[in-house]
Amino acid sequence: SARVAGAVRDFVDQNATGIYAAWAQVVDGDDKGVYKVAMSVGWNPHFGDLERKTVEAWLLHDFEADFYDKTLHVVVIGRVRDELKFDDVDDLKKAIKTDGKFCDTVLDWHVKWLDDPHFAANDKPPKFDLCGNRISD
């Protein structure tokens, strides 16, 4: 909807560029789980895209099917680092991998957001161990 698109544009325009940790759900997809995200907000300086800030969410989960043209709900937990310009694509790939690992780890400390009302009801509730870590089925 236009309201949601406006909210996304507002977030991108009003927040600093960089990498963010978040939780996300493909609300109208086959898999309605809530998953960890490493999200980039920025200009994509490595590729010379400096016309308008964009947002790119990397869901740290292997989906069985694609979710193009589906609705993604995202709850941003925090900013990880500034946007960087890389000298080559290999350095960029290494940073993306490092950011994904960091977000995967830090989001373990923020499992309470899995119950955020922003997310649609999951097919089944998440399970947690005694330390509050989410257990995969």
Catalytic residue IDs: 56
Collect all residues with Cβ–Cβ distance below 8 Å to 20 and sequence separation of at least 6: 38, 39, 40, 41, 76, 77, 78, 79, 80
Q: Please, what is the Cα angle at 47 between 41 and 52, to 5 degrees? A: 45
Report the relative pairing of strands 18-26 and 72-82 from DSSP bridges.
antiparallel
Backbone angles phi and psi of 133, in degrees to 5: -85, 135
Distance CA 71, CA 64 (A): 17
One-letter identity of residue 37: V
Q: Which residues pair with 78 in a beta bridge?
A: 21
